[in-house]
Every structure is written in C-alpha cells, then in structure tokens.
C-alpha cells in the first residue's frame, strides 16, 4: 500500500521544508522525506553553525585588540571543545524548531531517503530497510549538494577536511591551507585565523572571492593580508604529501612550485549536486554537470517532478532554495507567480571584514552594455563606523545612467550582511537612484553609507 499525497518533498533543507510548509498553507496534503537532519546542510552543517563559530572567533579577535577600546585583559584563552559544542547546540536548537514547524503545518515527515520509482512514485528507505512507498501528483526534489572533491586533494577528514570536519575540529591546528576562496573557504580562513592559526588561502582564480566585484575582492585581499593571512591567487594545489600529523601541500604559482607544510588542509573547491541514488533514471529528469535541469518555475523534464535549491544549480544559497520552493509550490497551486530574478538574489560572506552584494558587478554591468554611474563611500568617512572602531570597508553602488536602475550594490566591512537587504528591497521594488536619494536614513548608522554611496554615484555625496 502506498501513502498518497498531493505533494512529496524530498529533502528537508531550507528549500524542501519551506516548500512543504507553503504547500500545506495552500491546502495540499504534504509529505517530507529526510534521512539525515531537518534543516539540511544550511542549518546543521552550513550557514548557521559556521555563524556561531565565526562569532566566537570574532570575540577572540576582539579580546586580542581590546587596547583600541581602552581595555586590557591578561591571558585570554578559549576552549575549542566549548566553541564547537556551542555551535552544535545552536544547530540542534534550530533543527528542533523545523520539526515543530512541520508538525504545526501538518506535514508528514518520513525519516529515510527518497528514491523515485517512476513518475509520481517514491520509495523511502533507510539502511536498506523499506520505510514507505509514497505516491504524489507532484514531487519536489530538494536533495541539496555536497563538497566537490578533487583527485589531487584527497579528503580524509583527518588531515584534509571538508566543511563538516572543519566545523568540528578536535584540536586547534596551528597552521592550515584553505583551498578555495569562495564564501565557504574564506569563512573558514577567517575563523581559524581569528583563533590564531596561521592560514594560507590558495585560490585558482586571480583574486579572492572571484564572484564579487573586482574592487571588493581587492579590498578583501588587502584586509586579509594586513591581518596576517597569506593569500596565493592564480595558484593551484598540485598534490599533497601526507605525514603523520601534518601535510605538505605542493602549490604551483606562476610556473613555480612551492611546498608548504601545515597541520591541516581545508578543501573548499566548490560543490556538486546530490543527483545520485534518487532514482532519476526512472524518469525523464535531465541532469547537467551534476545539477538537475529545470525551467523558470523549477519544473524538470518529467511532468510532476520539480527540483529546487542546490541540486538545481547555482547560486548555492539557502535563501535562493527557499524562494525557489515558494515559487515552485505556488505555481503548482495555480497562483500567479513570477519567476525568480537572479539579479535580486543577495550574497553574503561572513568573513572579517564581511562582504555582501546583490546584482551586477561593475564589470558585468559594463559587459552587459550599460552606460553606468558608480558611487562609493568608505567606512572611514562614516560616524558610526568610526565610533564602532570599524573603519575598514566600502559601499559601492552601480546605476544605469539612462534609467537610474540600481544594477548592483557591493559592500565590504562590518555588518554589511545585515545592510544589503536595503538594496535588495530597493531592487525588488525596482527603485531608481531618485527614490534612494529621497529616502531618509537614520543617523548615526552604518546604513548612512548606503545613502551616501548613491549620492556619490550622482556626484551629490555630502560627507566625502
């Protein structure tokens, strides 16, 4: 006997559980299949626990820089186990919250892994045991993604870690190499650096955080280097010589090989979609480079089967997955839905200094043929930033000179991840520079820089 539902969601991450709750709100009978942990990577092994860790590492940084605020403290120290356990506690607390939300919304949760058995059918299994057979008119695949593994960068989770082990270290490495300077790599680099490790970041592209605006990348790199981090760009890890409790990393840069002996290596070289063992072969669903191919409403090539979140492609962001979940479900319910505008998806990186952005970079705007106006405003000219002792950073805005469309916003500095939403709201409401200029920003706040940056784009900045 099969259990029948209007909708079955496979995967309980920020894409899947949001889709399930929304579907239930719309009157569907919904099942959610999750074999590991509700909340997915984001909540258990990603966004949330890393933020807990980064907070503690920032506290450590502050304790070592108390002098600038007029404090002295002798011999501050930390207990790595406590830091990690705090981080795990945060994740557990939230995972329990998801369970409660699903229950409240009458979503039936199956503890197991879902495998498609032809269109409209799903087998749920765990440890080779059959849990249930499900039938549904609509099935959403939200199986997420995992760390990409490169052959010359063999992960063993002892000496060479991926994010999961990097989040739960048993002992503090004195030195480490972080391979990859995307959001994940650079956050771990910041975390370990702020806890006192000697960190070297190896990036294959010519700059760190390659998806960000060039200027932001440059500022970030300069800041990391000033803090004492080593950054090697246009560099590749050619191989590893693993020792007993250390690793020799062979790095090629500008045709020259460098050997670096470190305690640990973190591999953060991108991610691949979880498309295996979910029965895609029993359907017409298409996969391209480890990601499920979907249309603008998350529909796959098999009618009745949808994919959202990381498994459906970049950008691999929790909020993108959640939004796709909403769009997908509302489309199924027949509501009037608009496809997602990828230029309105913000990206946040919680390294120190933080980086946040939305829309086109300056280069991409130029490449797209826009005649642009660019505004910049530095943290060091902002009263609140100076008062906080956070004088490093910049807010950069890019406008279409013709229409005044806010094409992109790029920020680096303290708390920018909390500020970017202002520009995202503006972009979603299709603001032009005029409305932003007419907006009254509260004083004294860091957000005043957002105003000044817009003013600067039109040569009207007051405080610079």
Partner 1 sequence: MAIKILMPALSPTMTEGNLVKWHKKEGDKVGAGDLLAEIETDKATMEVEAIDEGVLGKVLIAEGTENVKVNAIIAVLLEDGEDASVIDKMDLSEPKEKIAEESPSADAPKKEAAPAQQSGGTTGVQIQAPPMSEGNEYEGRVSGPKEGVFATPLAKALAEENDLLIDAVIGTGPNGRITKEDVEMALQTTGGANLKAALALPRDDYGMPPYVPEKNSNVRKVIAKRLTESKLMIPHFYLTVECELDGLLALRKSMNDKAEGAYKVSVNDFVIKASAKALKDVPAANVAWTEGEIRQYVTSDISVAVATDGGLITPILKSAEAKSLVTLSKEMKELAGKARAGTLKPHEFQGGTFSISNLGMFGIKNFQAIVNPPQGAILAVGAGEEKLVMKNGNPATVTVMSVTLSVDHRCIDGAVGAQFLAAFKNYIENPTSMYDLARTA
Q: Give the active site residues.
A: 443
Q: Does 437 bind partner 1 (CB under 8 A)?
A: no
Stretch that binds partner 1, among 109-117, 215-223, 301-309, 425-433 (CB under 8 A): 425-433
Q: Interior CA angle at 47 toward 127 and 8, to 5°?
A: 45
Tell me how far, at minimum, the Cβ of 426 lies from partner 1, in Å.
9
Phi, psi of 375 (to 5 degrees): -115, 145
Q: Does 15 bind partner 1 (CB under 8 A)?
A: no
User: Which position among 28, 47, 107, 199 is part of the footprint of partner 1 (CB under 8 A)?
Assistant: 28
Tell me how far, at minimum, the Cβ of 26 lies from partner 1, in Å.
7
Stretch that binds partner 1, among 57-65, 86-94, 408-416, 429-437 (CB under 8 A): 429-437
Q: Tokens for 21, please give them.
A: 């709750």
Radius of gyration of the chain (CA): 23
Nearer to partner 1 among residue 93 and residue 106 (C-beta): 106
- Report the SS3 class of residue 287: strand
Q: Interior CA angle at 415 toward 413 and 421, to 5°?
A: 110
Q: Which residue is associated with the tokens 């009157």?
A: 27
Q: Does 227 bind partner 1 (CB under 8 A)?
A: no
Tell me how far, at minimum, the Cβ of 370 lies from partner 1, in Å.
12
Q: Tell me, by CB under 8 A, how many residues bind partner 1.
A: 23
The interface mask with partner 1, positions 158-197, x = CB under 8 A, is ----------------------------------------
Nearer to partner 1 among residue 174 and residue 402 (C-beta): 402
Tell me how far, at minimum, the Cβ of 447 lies from partner 1, in Å.
20
Q: Does 429 bind partner 1 (CB under 8 A)?
A: yes
d(CA 191, CA 157): 18
- 3-state DSSP of 78-129: CCHHHHHHHHHHHHHHHHHHHHHHHHHCCCEEEECEEEECCCCEEEEEECCE
Please report, for residues 134, 190, 324, the alpha-carbon distance to residue 10 in angstroms, rounded to integers and kept in the order given. Answer: 11, 34, 14
Please report, for residues 138, 148, 299, 330, the alpha-carbon distance to residue 339 in angstroms, rounded to integers and kept in the order given. Answer: 19, 29, 12, 11
Cis status of the peptide bond prior to 125, with omega within 30 of 0:
no
Nearer to partner 1 among residue 24 and residue 143 (C-beta): 24
Q: Does 435 bind partner 1 (CB under 8 A)?
A: yes
Q: Does 24 bind partner 1 (CB under 8 A)?
A: yes
d(CA 212, CA 440): 28
The residues in 335-394 that bind partner 1, with binding defined as CB under 8 A, are 335-338
**Closest to 56 measured CA to CA, from 85, 89, 83:** 83
Q: Does 324 bind partner 1 (CB under 8 A)?
A: no
Tell me how far, at minimum, the Cβ of 405 lies from partner 1, in Å.
5
- The answer to whether 293 and 325 have CB atoms below 8 angstroms apart is no
- The answer to whether 158 and 167 have CB atoms below 8 angstroms apart is no
Q: Does 447 bind partner 1 (CB under 8 A)?
A: no
- Report the SS3 class of residue 447: coil
Stretch that binds partner 1, among 262-270, 302-310, 396-404, 440-448 (CB under 8 A): 396-404
User: Which position among 405, 415, 452, 456 is part of the footprint of partner 1 (CB under 8 A)?
Assistant: 405
Strands 393-400 and 406-413: antiparallel
Please report, for residues 5, 51, 107, 220, 416, the alpha-carbon distance to residue 181 in angstroms, rounded to integers and kept in the order given. Answer: 43, 17, 38, 11, 19
Q: Does 404 bind partner 1 (CB under 8 A)?
A: yes
Tell me how far, at minimum, the Cβ of 337 lies from partner 1, in Å.
7
Tell me how far, at minimum, the Cβ of 335 lies from partner 1, in Å.
6
- The answer to whether 463 and 433 have CB atoms below 8 angstroms apart is no
The interface mask with partner 1, positions 274-313, x = CB under 8 A, is ----------------------------------------
Tell me how far, at minimum, the Cβ of 29 lies from partner 1, in Å.
9
Q: Does 26 bind partner 1 (CB under 8 A)?
A: yes
Residues near partner 1 (CB under 8 A) are: 6, 24-28, 330, 333-338, 402-405, 429-432, 434-435
């Amino acid at each position: 006997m099969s259990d029948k539902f209007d909708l079955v969601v496979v995967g309980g991450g920020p894409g899947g559980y949001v889709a399930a709750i929304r579907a239930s709100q719309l009157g569907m009978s919904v099942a959610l299949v999750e074999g590991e942990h509700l909340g997915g990577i984001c909540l258990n092994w990603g966004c949330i626990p890393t933020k807990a860790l980064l907070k503690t590492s920032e506290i450590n940084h502050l304790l070592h820089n108390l002098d600038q605020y007029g404090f002295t403290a002798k011999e501050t120290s930390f207990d790595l186990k406590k830091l990690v356990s705090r981080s795990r506690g945060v994740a557990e607390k939230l995972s329990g919250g998801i369970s409660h939300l699903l229950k409240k919304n009458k979503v039936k949760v199956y503890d197991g892994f879902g495998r498609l058995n032809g269109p409209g059918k799903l087998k749920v299994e765990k440890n080779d045991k059959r849990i249930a057979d499900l039938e549904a008119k609509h099935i959403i695949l939200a199986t997420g993604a995992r760390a990409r593994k490169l052959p010359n960068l063999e992960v063993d989770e002892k000496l060479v870690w991926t994010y999961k082990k990097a989040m739960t270290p048993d002992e503090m490495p004195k030195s480490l190499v972080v391979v990859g300077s995307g959001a994940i790599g650079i956050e771990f680099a910041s975390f370990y650096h702020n806890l006192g490790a000697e960190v070297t970041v190896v990036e294959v592209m010519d700059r760190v955080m390659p998806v960000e605006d060039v200027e932001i990348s440059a500022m970030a790199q300069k800041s990391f280097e000033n803090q004492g981090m080593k950054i090697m760009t246009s560099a590749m890890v050619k191989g590893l010589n693993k020792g007993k409790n250390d690793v020799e990393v062979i790095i090629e840069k500008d045709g020259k090989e460098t050997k670096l002996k470190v305690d640990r290596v973190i591999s953060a070289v991108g991610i691949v979609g979880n498309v295996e063992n979910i029965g895609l072969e029993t359907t017409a669903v298409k996969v391209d480079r480890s990601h499920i191919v979907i249309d603008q409403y998350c529909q796959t090539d098999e009618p009745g089967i949808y994919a959202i979140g990381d498994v459906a492609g970049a950008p691999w962001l929790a909020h993108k997955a959640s939004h796709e979940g909403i769009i997908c479900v509302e489309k199924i319910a027949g509501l009037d839905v608009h496809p997602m505008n990828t230029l309105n998806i913000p990206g946040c990186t919680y390294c120190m200094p933080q980086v946040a952005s939305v829309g086109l970079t300056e280069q991409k705007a130029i490449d797209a043929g826009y005649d642009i106006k660019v505004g910049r405003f530095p943290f060091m000219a902002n009263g609140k930033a100076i008062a906080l002792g956070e004088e490093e950073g910049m807010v950069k805005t890019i406008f279409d000179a013709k229409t005044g469309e806010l094409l992109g916003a790029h920020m680096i500095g303290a708390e920018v991840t909390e500020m970017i939403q202002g520009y995202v709201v503006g972009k979603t409401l299709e603001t032009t520079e005029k409305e932003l200029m007419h907006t009254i920003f509260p004083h004294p706040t860091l957000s005043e820089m957002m105003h000044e940056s817009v003013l600067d784009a039109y040569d009207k900045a007051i405080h610079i």
